[in-house]
Amino acid sequence: MSNAGTPAWGNRRGPVVPYVPGLDGLRALAVVAVIVYHANHSWLGGGFLGVEVFFVISGYLITLLLIAERERAGTVSLGNFWLRRARRLLPALFTLLIGTTVYCALFDRDRLGMLRGDVVAGALYISNWFQIWSGSSYTSAFAFAPLRHLWSLAVEEQYYIVWPLVMFVLLRRLRSKTLPKLAVVFTMGALAITAWSIYLYNSGPIDTFEKTPEQFMTFFGHRILRIDFLYLGTISRASGLLLGAALAAVWRPWAIRRGRAGTNANGLDLLGVAALTALGFMFWKFREVVSVTDSGTQGYDLLYRGGFLAVGIATIIAIAMVTHPRSRLGKYVIGSPIFVWLGKRSYGLYLYHWTIFQAYRKNAGNSLNLREFIALMAITLVITEASYQFIETPIRKGVATAKWREWRARGGRISPPFAVVLGTLAIIPIFSVVKMAGATVMADDITASLDDNEGAVTRITTTTTIVGATTSIPVVTTSTIAKGKLDVLAVGDSVMLGSAKKLSSYGITVDAAKNRQVLEGLQIFNYYKSTNELGNNVVVHLGTNGITKAATYERLLKPLAGVQRVIVLTNRIPGRAAEKLNNVVINALPLTHPNVTILDWYELSKPHPEWFASDGIHPNAVGQDNYVALILQALGR
Of the ranges 135-144, 359-368, 375-384, 612-621, the best mean pLDDT one = 375-384
Given a cut of 60, is residue 628 above it in pLDDT? yes
Mean of pLDDT values over 214-230:
95
Mean of pLDDT values over 265-274:
92
Mean pLDDT of the chain: 89
What percentage of the chain reaches a pLDDT higher than 90? 73
Identity (one letter) of the amino acid at 586? Answer: I
* DSSP result, 442-476: ---HHHHHHHHHGGG-B---EEEEETTEEEEEPP-
CA distance linking residue 606 with residue 296, whole number of Å = 25
**pLDDT band (50, 70, 90) for residue 259:** low
CA distance linking residue 631 with residue 637, whole number of Å = 9
Given a cut of 60, is residue 60 above it in pLDDT? yes
Burial class, 389, CB count within 10 angstroms (exposed 0-12 / middle 13-18 / buried 19+): exposed
Q: How far is CA 462 from the centre of its chain?
A: 32
User: Which pLDDT score, from 0 to 100, does residue 350 have?
Assistant: 98
CA distance linking residue 48 with residue 124, whole number of Å = 23
User: Which pLDDT score, from 0 to 100, does residue 462 have?
Assistant: 52
* DSSP result, 469-528: EEEEEPP-B-SPPPPS--SEEEEESHHHHTTHHHHHTTTEEEEE-TT--GGGHHHHHHHH
Given a cut of 90, is residue 10 above it in pLDDT? no
Mean of pLDDT values over 304-314:
97
Selection from 396, 404, 402, 340 nearest residue 89 by Cα = 396
**pLDDT band (50, 70, 90) for residue 211:** confident
- In CATH terms, the fold of domain 445-634 is Rossmann fold (3.40.50)
**Which residues make Cβ contacts (< 8 Å) with residue 625, sequence separation at least 6?**
502
Cα dihedral sign for 216, 51, 379, 122?
Answer: positive
Mean of pLDDT values over 337-346:
97
User: Which pLDDT score, from 0 to 100, does residue 572 have?
Assistant: 96
What percentage of the chain reaches a pLDDT higher than 70? 93
Selection from 597, 602, 600 nearest residue 636 by Cα = 597
Selection from 541, 520, 526 nearest residue 465 by Cα = 520
- If you count them, how many residues does the chain have? 637
Output 468 or 272, whichever has higher pLDDT: 272
**Which residues make Cβ contacts (< 8 Å) with residue 425, sequence separation at least 6?**
none
Mean of pLDDT values over 274-303:
94
| Domain ranges within the chain, ordered by starting residue | 15-396, 445-634
Given a cut of 70, is residue 154 above it in pLDDT? yes
Mean of pLDDT values over 310-318:
98
Identity (one letter) of the amino acid at 119? Answer: V
Identity (one letter) of the amino acid at 51? Answer: V
Output 183 or 365, whichever has higher pLDDT: 183
CA distance linking residue 124 with residue 117, whole number of Å = 11
* Least confident span in 315-324, 333-342, 443-452: 443-452
Mean of pLDDT values over 292-314:
94
Question: For the CA atoms of 215, 220, 222, 224, what is the dihedral angle to 10 degrees?
Answer: -30
Residue 289 dihedral angles phi and psi, to the nearest 5° = -135, 160
CA distance linking residue 157 with residue 124, whole number of Å = 10
CA distance linking residue 493 with residue 516, whole number of Å = 5
Question: CA Rg, the chain, in Å?
Answer: 29
**Which residues make Cβ contacts (< 8 Å) with residue 191, sequence separation at least 6?**
239, 309
User: Which pLDDT score, from 0 to 100, does residue 262 have?
Assistant: 61
Mean of pLDDT values over 283-290:
95
**pLDDT band (50, 70, 90) for residue 634:** very high
pTM metric for this prediction? 0.90
User: Which pLDDT score, from 0 to 100, does residue 473 have?
Assistant: 40
User: Which pLDDT score, from 0 to 100, does residue 465 have?
Assistant: 44
pLDDT in tens, 502-517: 999 999 999 999 989 9
Identity (one letter) of the amino acid at 316? Answer: I
Given a cut of 70, is residue 344 above it in pLDDT? yes
CA distance linking residue 40 with residue 364, whole number of Å = 10
Residue 274 dihedral angles phi and psi, to the nearest 5° = -65, -40
Given a cut of 60, is residue 467 above it in pLDDT? no
* DSSP result, 566-612: EEEE----TT-HHHHHHHHHHHTGGGT-TTEEEE-HHHHHTT-GGGB
Given a cut of 90, is residue 421 above it in pLDDT? no
User: Which pLDDT score, from 0 to 100, does residue 97 have?
Assistant: 97
Widest CA span of the chain, in angstroms?
95
Residue 199 dihedral angles phi and psi, to the nearest 5° = -65, -40
CA distance linking residue 458 with residue 507, whole number of Å = 12
Output 468 or 279, whichever has higher pLDDT: 279
